[in-house]
Amino acid sequence: MSDAARPLITIDEAEVDISAIRAQGAGGQNVNKVSSAIHLRFDIPASSLPEDVKERLLALRDKRITAQGVLIIKAQGHRTQDMNRLDAYARLQDVVQSVAQAPRPRRATRPTRAAKERRLQDKSQRSAIKELRGKALD
């Protein structure tokens, strides 16, 4: 589905809790001195998002969403706190936009006669191949 078809959902900055933490990994002395990584916490049930969007967000099988419904994003890819903050907001926006549009309901269909015949033909071919794997008879 194209991005133009999805409704644009804006997230109020007051609903987002941001804290600066020290980044992990390589970085020399700078990584030990500067808190440049960002921990972004977004409480989904307490947010002002539409109810259907909240339900779809909470239904996501995403390890960043806690059992209490808090989405936690850690951004530490950049050297500056501002860049990591922008990265965290962008990732939050991406997650919310991914569920902004309701999925189309599935319509049940039946396989065609040709599809059934192809399936049965494939089964018989596979059966014949497997039959050849047996022990050779004298």
| Boundaries of every domain in the chain | 3-98
Q: What is the pLDDT of residue 103?
A: 86
pTM given for the model? 0.69
Residue type, 67: A
User: Are the C-beta atoms of 97 and 104 separated by less than 8 Å?
Assistant: no
33 or 136: which leads in pLDDT:
136
Q: What is the pLDDT of residue 5?
A: 58
pLDDT at 9 over 90: no
Q: What is the pLDDT of residue 28?
A: 65
Strands 16-21 and 70-75: unpaired
pLDDT at 59 over 60: yes
Structure tokens at 33: 């001195």
Q: What is the pLDDT of residue 6?
A: 60
CA distance 98 to 104: 14
Residue type, 50: P
Share of the chain above pLDDT 90, in %: 50
For 34-50, how does the pLDDT look when each residue is reduced to its tens digit (9 = 90+)? 778 899 999 999 988 88
Structure tokens at 75: 């951004």
CATH code of 3-98, in short, is 3.30.160.20
28 or 81: which leads in pLDDT:
81
Nearest to 44 by CA among 31, 60, 27: 60
